[in-house]
Structure 1
Amino acid sequence: MLLAFAAFIFNTTEFIPIALLSDIGTSFSIPVDKVGIMMTVYAWIVALASLPLMLATAKMERKRLLVGVFTLFVASHILSAVATSFGVLLIARTGVALAHAIFWSITASLVVRLAAKDKRTKALGLLATGSALATVLGLPIGRLVGQHLGWRASFALIGVLALICLVIFWKILPNLPSRNVGNIKSLPDILKNTPLLLVYLMIILIVTAHFTAYSYIEPFMLNVVNFSANFATWILLMFGLAGIMASILFGRYYERMERSFLWLAMMAIALGLSTLFLSSDMSALWVINAFLWGIGATTISLVLQIQVLRLAPKATDVAMSLFSGIFNIGIGGGALLGGIVIAQMSLIHIGHVGAAVALLAMLAAWAYTRRLA
Structure 2
Amino acid sequence: MLTHHLSFFKRPWWGVMALTFAAFIFNTTEFVPVGLLTAIGNSLDMRPTDVGVVMTIYAWTVSVASLPLTLFVREVERRTLLMRVFIVFILSHIVTGVAPNFEIFVLGRIGIAFAHAVFWSISIPLVVRLVPPDGERRALAMISIGTSVAMVAGVPIGRAIGDTFGWRATFQIIAGAAVLGMGALWLTLPKLDSQGSGSLNSLPKLLKTPVLVALFAVTVLTVCAHFTSYTYLEPFARAVTGASNIEVTFLLVLFGAAGVPAAVCFSRFYANRPRRFLLWTLCALAACLLLLWPCGQYVGTLSMLLLFWGVAIICFGLAMQAHVLRLAPDAADIAISMFSALYNIGIGAGALVGKFVARDVGLAWIGMFGAAVAVLGAVVCWLAFMAARRGTRRAAPLLTH
TM-score by length of 1: 0.94
Determine the structure 1 residue equivalent to 2:345.
329
Residues 321/145 of structure 1: CA separation in 2 closer, same or farther (3 Å cut): same
Query: What is the aligned counterpart of 1:73 among 86, 89, 96?
Result: 89
The letter for the 1-side match of 2:382 is W
CA-CA distance at 1:280 after TM superposition: 6.0
Structure 2 residue 136 is the aligned partner of structure 1 residue 120 = yes
CA distance in 2, matches of 1:353, 1:84: 35
Q: Give the Cα–Cα distance (whole angstroms) in 2 for the partners of residues 4 and 82 of structure 1.
A: 28
Q: More displaced, 87-96 or 326-335?
A: 87-96
1:338 maps to a residue whose letter is G
- Deviation at 1:346? 2.6
Say if 1:80 and 1:346 are closer, same or farther in 2 by CA, change over 3 A: closer
Q: Which of 15, 22, 28 does residue 6 from structure 1 map onto? A: 22
Moved more, 233-242 or 81-90: 81-90
Q: Indicate the residue corresponding to 1:364 in structure 2.
A: 380
Counterpart for residue 12 of structure 2: none
- Whether the 8 Å CA contact 1:208–1:333 is kept in 2: the answer is yes
SS at match of 2:292: coil
Show the 5 A alignment for 1:193-204.
Answer: 193-204=209-220
- Identity level (%): 42
Decide whether aligned partners of structure 1 residues 26 and 185 sit closer, same or farther in structure 2, where only a CA change above 3 A counts: same
Post-superposition Cα deviations, 1:137-165, rounded to whole Å, max 9, x if no partner, equal: 00121122223322222111111111111
Structure 2 counterpart of 1:316, one-letter code: A
User: Which residue in 1 is equivalent to 2:357?
Assistant: 341
Give the secondary-structure state (helix, strand or coil) at the position aligned to 2:190: coil
Q: Secondary structure at the match of 1:59?
A: coil
**Using the alignment, how far apart are the partners of 1:83 and 1:332 within structure 2?**
22
322-331 vs 212-221, greater mean Cα deviation: 212-221
1:212 is aligned to 2:234: no
RMSD: 1.8
Which residue of structure 2 lines up, in the alignment, with residue 310 of structure 1? 326
CA distance in 2, matches of 1:141, 1:259: 36
> Normalising by the residue count of structure 2, what TM-score does the alignment of the two structures yield?
0.88
Contact 1:243 1:297 in 2 (8 A): no
- Matched AA of 2:215: V
1:84-112 Cα shifts (integer Å, max 9, x gaps) = 43332222111111000000111110111
Q: Which runs of 5+ in 1 are unaligned?
A: none
User: What SS does the corresponding residue of 1:180 show, helix, strand or coil?
Assistant: coil
Give the Cα separation in 2 of the matches to 1:310 and 1:103. Answer: 20
Alignment length (residue pairs) = 373
Map Cα deviations across residues 196-234 of structure 1 (whole Å, 9 max, x no partner): 001101101111111111112222232223344443433
Partner of 1:181: 197
Q: Match for 1:225 among 230, 234, 241?
A: 241
Question: What does residue 395 of structure 2 align with?
Answer: none
- Per the TM alignment, residue 31 of structure 1 is displaced from its structure 2 partner at its CA by 4.1
Equivalent residue runs for 1:230-245 within 5 Å: 230-245=246-261
| 2:290–2:367 CA contact under 8 A, matched in 1 | yes
Equivalent residue for 1:265, pick from 281, 285, 289: 281
Q: Which consecutive unaligned segments of at least 5 residues does structure 2 have?
A: 1-16, 390-401
